[in-house]
Chain A
Amino acid sequence: MEDYPEELRMTPVSLVSIVGCPELHPSISAALSSQQPPMNTLALPDFSKASILARSGKARDPLAPPQAPAGILKKDWLLKHRTRVPAAVAALFRADQVSGDPAQWLQACSDLENLKSAIQGKNTKLVVVLVQAQASDELSEDVTVALRKRAEIDSRHMIVLVEQDETEWSRSLSKLKNVFAELCSAFYKEEGRRIKARIEKRNFSSVELSIRYCFKVAVYAEFRRDWPEALKFYEEGVRVLREMIGTSTRLPPTQRLVEIKAVAEQFHFKISTLLLHAGKVVEAILWFRKHIRSYERVVGTPEVAFLHWEWFSRQFLVFGELIETTAATVPDTLSPRFGTADNALTEWEFQPAYYYQLAATYLREKRYAIECSSSVANLTTEASGIPESVMPSVYVGQYVRLFEQGDTVSVLPLSDTEYTSYALSEAERFQDSYEIIALFRKAYESFQSLGATRMASACSRGMAIEYYAAGDFSNAKQLFDGVAGLYRQEGWTTLLWENLGYLRECSRKLNFPKDFISYSLEMAALPLFSGSGEENRENKIKSGPGGSPTISRRENIQQEVINVLKRKQAPDGTNDEFDNAMEETTHLDIDQISPLRMVLTASVAFHDQSVKPGSPLLISVSLLSHLPSPVVVDQLEVQFNQSDCNFVVHSAQEDSPPLDSNLHDQVVQATSLTLFTNKWMRLTREIKSGQSGKLECLSVKATINKHLVICCHAESPASMEDFPLWKFEDHVETLPTKDNVLAFSGQKLIQVEEPDAQVDLVLNSAGSALVGEIFIVPATILSKGHAVHSGELKINLVDAKGGGLLMSPREAEESESHDVELLGVSTVDGKELKEEVDSIRKIQYSFGVVSVPTLSEGDSWSCKLEIKWHRAKSVMLYVSLGYSLGSTEEEALLRLNVHRSLQIEGQIPLLVTHQLLRPFRREPLLLSEIRSLGGDDKKCSLAMNESNMFIVNARNCTEVPLRLHSMTIEPDDDGKQLCSVQQVSGISNGHAVIAPSEEYKGIFSVNPRASSSNFHLGDICLNWSRDSSLGEDQETHVIMKQRLPEEIKYSLVDSQNFVFSGAHNHAAFILPKSEHIVSHKLVPLGSGSQQLPRITITSVRYSAALTPSTSAATVFVYPSEPKFNLETSCSTSDECVS
């Protein structure tokens, strides 16, 4: 925009001129330019200078036929109107000049005449100003009238300025300003109308004039600030101009087009400025679009295409700058409607960056065009040469040649050929690249700040291509790298391909063989399948040095890499520059996020999850490459975190496999190591596992063509990511291993277990344990090959039925008692050991830790675990021995463990029952009613002061013989008072041996001394031990206690109507839900409804009584026959009271 002349860029400002009284000029021009709208002043110090106002052009012969105009717009026309053609001229006279001396008066008159003649033929208005010192200096009326007459002006245009008085001065000045404003407006209106009339009457000889008139009318309208009219005529001018392209024949075609475009540019600039300054952003953009569309295709001949693109680019640049300077914002009403039918504009079109980017793009187009043109021009115009002294003509967009012949200088028109070579030589002088880069950078920064990363990277790519074209490869490479990152991430492979093509060339030019190889390999591995594109020159320019993305090209690129590696001269000799920079071998590192993962991926899976140290294990190494041609791998090196396990696979095709210095490596020969595109190469090898711990495969190094080493980080098949770029709908997913399970769950690391313990732990069980005794479990540690250092024995008791704890939760809350309890661990060996042991002995109810003394090979050590059962329960006993092989620190780290477990049943040793034998009953009884009581029936009542027999049976329920030491009844306090208990038969010889499932009977005599419905006889105590045949040296005495049964009693009350037989009071034992029948024989004494004798049943324990209701105990007795033997039997069912 800065290239445009100032008069085009600024809004036209009215011009007035003042002549005479130079001392007043500064204040008057200042006052006029501060006016709104401002006026420029052309100040002429005295009247002799007035001649410059006169028309400068040659007087045209009015009779001559109208000549065709030589151009559309004169370059200086606008400037002329802004600086040299005033709308009004003011002649300043001092009052004393006109009123005093006649000589002065005459001078003033002649000056006025001169001025009038200077503005003769123009519409320029004349104003006469009289300058007075004081307001009171009244000029005589006839002087002013005479002056007015002389000047031929209206009285309004005769102004008096008062110099001395401040208020009078400003008042008169403002009057002058008003007059000027009025006259300016009238002048420009008149001028405009004059030209407009010509347009309307079509009073012009050529199209050029029509356009010129439009321009003039519009400019005059601008002078008047009549924007709509200005816009209208500018648009009209553009329309006519566009139509002119095909019709005009005045100039040779190329120059004609250049002129038209130059004029169109001016028109367009004016229109855009007017629209944008009026805030009509949308209209401006739409106008711009129209402008672009109408000139886009007007390229002209191919030789001058660069002129078109330069011009085209400038349109974008200028419009972008205009938008930026007017700070156009997106109208609020528009922003939510982008992309909808009622809005044709896009969001970016409001951003200057959009235009800069396009300007840069088209400028690049110009660069391409110049390249084409110059190569052609060099061949053809070499002979003719570039014409000299070509200069812009007076018309916009025209060039002429100055021709000197002696003293006369004439202007000659140019031919198209001359012009073309001139333009080309001019264009070649400029370095467009820097401008393109600057424009792209401007756009890039702007888009970046808008958060549009893709647009920004598009600009970044533009910059990079320019740097590349300008030969600045390091900058280009840096920018291309950044852009490639985005395309990789988003998988736009075609774009990535182009980018990589540039990067590859940059690396070649910068002599970076490693980068060259990696970019080439990445390109070769891109998923591009488009058909074989024709390679042509234009194509190569536009799609970059990578060429078109085809399979054959990918194969070529792969071959190029191989050639570089082999130091082979390529057919076109492009890669010889690498010779210095090439190292012996090139290392490429490929990890899981590397873009080169497509080139080579290594998946490693162990076949097992864990392995013993030193034992063989299988490992599968699978390699996948997406390179189009088969890749021959010379050598494959698999590396582990334990370097002992590393192994190398050599291809058998190689004649002499190099001896590897690493002695640890296992060298394997394989028949062929060739990777075919998109097919897994699978190798399964057996290796020896190393030390215990984690064994992880780190990387797989493939050596290709001896000089390229690709180091792939090993990936587990289970956690392997797929290739986002190589995901195709019809692409069969191949698995790294043949075994499907391994392909989905295989891991690249394996756990090497600790070595087998060579120490035996023996737990001897002595059958099942008996409740109450202290059960001994001997544990023996036998060293068979390992010395035991800092050994530790852990003992754990767990409920065999599960649940872990050896007591129910309820019990745990209530008491501290345990069903099974670990009482302690006793050692058999010497006392000195025991002291040491004691220090770390830790025994809890179900858990214990005991340290084991240091044992050398072949030694043994044993201890005894003392466990007591409180209830019959099955228990798992877990014993584990942990030890290390030595006492040094590193040996201590490696601990070996031996685990043993044993299930032990807890059993109740003796089952105790009892039986009471009562003495013969002596009460009178009806024998038929007495029922015999079963022997096992526990309910009984004892005769007072009689000796009752009490028999206790103890039955051995175990499988081992038991020894009974004593059996006693220990009466409690109640029992002692109420009865005496004596043992009738005791245990002879100190103990009695009870064989399994045998019974021992103890007989006691019980003699109650007082009548009591309920009492405790006492507890039965048994003292027993295992029969010593087992070799135990400690006797276990067990005391068992059992409760005696209780009584329930009932009583019958006499009734006056009946006599009955049987006891009045009696007691009985009733089991829950059982029935007990009490029978009495009744003899009624009267007839009718009679009350039966009342029965009351009392539960002794709960002191609860039950009496049947009266109705239930009423019976109707019929009057008797003479025979007196009627019987009524009544049975009452006893309720259960429990």
Chain B
Amino acid sequence: MASTACFVIVSKNDIPIYEAEVGSAPKKEDLAHQHQFILHAALDVVQDLAWTTNAMFLRSVDRFSDLVVSVYVTAVHTRFMLLHDSRSDDGIKSFFQEVHELYIKIFLNPLYLPGSRITSSHFDTKVRALARKYL
């Protein structure tokens, strides 16, 4: 498991709807802050890149010192952004794909308003479990 990993789901209007620190390193508020900061700045690159390729998984689109940003863009342009320091591409890809399935399940909920923040503890638990498994 990666020591640092910050996972954020950004809705298509650029609002983060889910945030989680999934790294094994001890949690520090200011770091979480810094991570979000890097992820937000990386949106610029993703914005350009997402339209140039058919691939959903965009690996290492941005880096900040030894932290790398990988992104998974869904069909409705929701972006799963992961800030990580691990090098396992396959793991990250699998993580994204499984989270995508979870996200679709959230989306299928008729009571879920698209674009609202995901606060389901079930989703949170699942995402953290996936992070432990793949990252």
Is A340 in contact with B65, judged by CB distance below 8 angstroms? no
User: CB of B60 within 8 A of chain A?
Assistant: yes
Of B40-48, B94-102, B127-135, the segment with at least 4 beta carbons within 8 Å of chain A is: B40-48
With A347-B45, A492-B40 in contact, do A539 and B30 touch (Cβ < 8 Å)? yes
* One of B32, B58, B118 near A339 (C-beta < 8 A): B58
Write the nearest CB–CB distance from A802 to chain B, whole angstroms: 45
Q: Give Cα distance in the complex from A494 to B43, angstroms.
A: 16
Q: Give Cα distance in the complex from A495 to B16, angstroms.
A: 11
Residues of B within 8 A of A492 (CB): 15-16, 36, 40
Residues of B within 8 A of A341 (CB): 59, 89
User: CB of A143 within 8 A of chain B?
Assistant: no
Is A339 in contact with B59, judged by CB distance below 8 angstroms? yes
Write the nearest CB–CB distance from B32 to chain A, whole angstroms: 7
With A340-B53, A490-B14, A729-B112 in contact, do A296 and B65 touch (Cβ < 8 Å)? yes
* One of A336, A498, A730 near B119 (C-beta < 8 A): A730
Of A449-457, A665-673, A786-794, A942-950, the segment with at least 4 beta carbons within 8 Å of chain B is: A449-457
Q: Which of A512-564 contact B (CB under 8 A)?
A: 527, 530, 533-534, 538-539, 542-543, 548-549
User: CB of A1002 within 8 A of chain B?
Assistant: no
User: CB of A38 within 8 A of chain B?
Assistant: no
Residues of B within 8 A of A494 (CB): 19, 32-33, 36
Write the nearest CB–CB distance from A483 to chain B, whole angstroms: 11
User: CB of A657 within 8 A of chain B?
Assistant: no
Q: Give Cα distance in the complex from A344 to B64, angstroms.
A: 14
Is B45 in contact with A336, judged by CB distance below 8 angstroms? no
Q: Give Cα distance in the complex from A489 to B15, angstroms.
A: 8
Residues of A within 8 A of B53 (CB): 336, 339-340
Is B62 in contact with A348, judged by CB distance below 8 angstroms? yes
* Most B Cβ at <10 Å: residue of A339, A340, A724, A728: A339
Q: Give Cα distance in the complex from A925 to B58, angstroms.
A: 116
Residues of B within 8 A of A296 (CB): 65-66
With A339-B58, A729-B118 in contact, do A347 and B41 touch (Cβ < 8 Å)? no
Residues of A within 8 A of B59 (CB): 339-341
* One of B19, B40, B60, B61 near A458 (C-beta < 8 A): B40
Q: Which of A458-501 contact B (CB under 8 A)?
A: 458, 487, 489-495, 498
Q: Give Cα distance in the complex from A636 to B48, angstroms.
A: 49
Please name the residue on chain A nearest to B73 by beta carbon.
A339
Write the nearest CB–CB distance from B102 to chain A, whole angstroms: 13
Is B43 in contact with A727, judged by CB distance below 8 angstroms? no
Is A453 in contact with B44, judged by CB distance below 8 angstroms? yes
User: CB of B49 within 8 A of chain A?
Assistant: yes
- Give A335-347 as 1s and 0s: 1 = Cβ < 8 Å from B's Cβ atoms: 0101111001011
Is A339 in contact with B41, judged by CB distance below 8 angstroms? no
User: CB of B104 within 8 A of chain A?
Assistant: no
Is A346 in contact with B40, judged by CB distance below 8 angstroms? no
Residues of A within 8 A of B13 (CB): 490, 724
Write the nearest CB–CB distance from B88 to chain A, whole angstroms: 12
Is A491 in contact with B45, judged by CB distance below 8 angstroms? no
Q: Give Cα distance in the complex from A830 to B109, angstroms.
A: 80
With A347-B45, A495-B36 in contact, do A543 and B29 touch (Cβ < 8 Å)? yes
Residues of A within 8 A of B29 (CB): 530, 533-534, 539, 543, 548-549
Is A727 in contact with B32, judged by CB distance below 8 angstroms? no
Write the nearest CB–CB distance from A1061 to chain B, whole angstroms: 96
Write the nearest CB–CB distance from A531 to chain B, whole angstroms: 9
Q: Which of A317-348 contact B (CB under 8 A)?
A: 336, 338-341, 344, 346-348
Is B116 in contact with A454, judged by CB distance below 8 angstroms? no
Please name the residue on chain B nearest to A458 by beta carbon.
B41
Write the nearest CB–CB distance from B11 to chain A, whole angstroms: 8
User: CB of A292 within 8 A of chain B?
Assistant: yes
Is A491 in contact with B14, judged by CB distance below 8 angstroms? yes
Q: Give Cα distance in the complex from A18 to B12, angstroms.
A: 73
User: CB of A731 within 8 A of chain B?
Assistant: yes
- Give A70-81 as 1s and 0s: 1 = Cβ < 8 Å from B's Cβ atoms: 000000000000
Write the nearest CB–CB distance from A48 to chain B, whole angstroms: 59
Is B60 in contact with A491, judged by CB distance below 8 angstroms? no
User: CB of A293 within 8 A of chain B?
Assistant: yes
Is B117 in contact with A727, judged by CB distance below 8 angstroms? yes
Q: Give Cα distance in the complex from A530 to B19, angstroms.
A: 11
> How many B residues face the partner with a CB closer than 8 A?
44
Q: Which of A692-749 contact B (CB under 8 A)?
A: 724-725, 727-731
Residues of A within 8 A of B89 (CB): 341
Q: Which of B33-82 contact A (CB under 8 A)?
A: 33-34, 36-37, 40-45, 48-49, 52-53, 55, 58-66, 71
Please name the residue on chain B nearest to A457 by beta carbon.
B41
Residues of B within 8 A of A454 (CB): 40-44
Residues of A within 8 A of B41 (CB): 454-455, 458
Q: Give Cα distance in the complex from A549 to B15, angstroms.
A: 18
Q: Give Cα distance in the complex from A592 to B49, angstroms.
A: 34
User: CB of B113 within 8 A of chain A?
Assistant: yes
Is B40 in contact with A729, judged by CB distance below 8 angstroms? no
Residues of B within 8 A of A727 (CB): 113, 115-117
Please name the residue on chain B nearest to A730 by beta carbon.
B119
Residues of B within 8 A of A293 (CB): 66
Write the nearest CB–CB distance from A290 to chain B, whole angstroms: 12
Write the nearest CB–CB distance from B77 to chain A, whole angstroms: 14
User: CB of B120 within 8 A of chain A?
Assistant: yes
With A543-B29, A728-B119, A729-B118 in contact, do A339 and B44 touch (Cβ < 8 Å)? no
User: CB of B1 within 8 A of chain A?
Assistant: no
Please name the residue on chain A nearest to B52 by beta carbon.
A336
Is A458 in contact with B113, judged by CB distance below 8 angstroms? no
Residues of B within 8 A of A447 (CB): 44
Residues of A within 8 A of B117 (CB): 527, 727-729, 731
User: CB of B106 within 8 A of chain A?
Assistant: yes
With A296-B66, A339-B60, A344-B60 in contact, do A542 and B30 touch (Cβ < 8 Å)? yes
Is B37 in contact with A490, judged by CB distance below 8 angstroms? no
Q: Give Cα distance in the complex from A452 to B40, angstroms.
A: 11
Is B60 in contact with A292, judged by CB distance below 8 angstroms? no
Q: Give Cα distance in the complex from A727 to B44, angstroms.
A: 24
Q: Which of A378-423 contact B (CB under 8 A)?
A: none
Write the nearest CB–CB distance from A447 to chain B, whole angstroms: 8
Is A543 in contact with B40, judged by CB distance below 8 angstroms? no
Write the nearest CB–CB distance from B44 to chain A, whole angstroms: 4
Is B16 in contact with A491, judged by CB distance below 8 angstroms? yes
* One of B45, B106, B112, B116 near A348 (C-beta < 8 A): B45
Please name the residue on chain A nearest to B31 by beta carbon.
A542
Is B37 in contact with A729, judged by CB distance below 8 angstroms? no
Write the nearest CB–CB distance from B66 to chain A, whole angstroms: 7
Is B116 in contact with A729, judged by CB distance below 8 angstroms? yes
Please name the residue on chain B nearest to A357 by beta carbon.
B41
Is A339 in contact with B61, judged by CB distance below 8 angstroms? yes
* Most A Cβ at <10 Å: residue of B13, B19, B36, B41: B41
Q: Give Cα distance in the complex from A872 to B17, angstroms.
A: 73
Residues of B within 8 A of A548 (CB): 29-30
Please name the residue on chain A nearest to B90 by beta carbon.
A341
Please name the residue on chain A nearest to B32 by beta carbon.
A494
Write the nearest CB–CB distance from A1112 to chain B, whole angstroms: 81
Is B106 in contact with A729, judged by CB distance below 8 angstroms? yes
Is A538 in contact with B30, judged by CB distance below 8 angstroms? yes
Is A455 in contact with B63, judged by CB distance below 8 angstroms? no
Write the nearest CB–CB distance from B104 to chain A, whole angstroms: 14
With A340-B55, A458-B40, A729-B117 in contact, do A490 and B33 touch (Cβ < 8 Å)? no
Q: Give Cα distance in the complex from A548 to B34, angstroms.
A: 12
- Give me the 4 closest cross-chain CB pairs, A-B, nearest first: A339-B58, A491-B15, A727-B116, A452-B44
* 11 pairs, CB–CB < 8 Å, chain A vs chain B: A454-B43, A487-B40, A489-B14, A491-B14, A494-B33, A494-B36, A542-B30, A542-B33, A543-B33, A725-B15, A727-B117
Extra 4 A-B pairs, beta carbons < 8 Å, given A292-B65, A340-B53, A495-B33: A347-B61, A454-B44, A490-B15, A727-B116
Q: Which residues of B contact A (CB under 8 A)?
A: 13-16, 19, 28-30, 32-34, 36-37, 40-45, 48-49, 52-53, 55, 58-66, 71, 89, 106, 112-113, 115-120
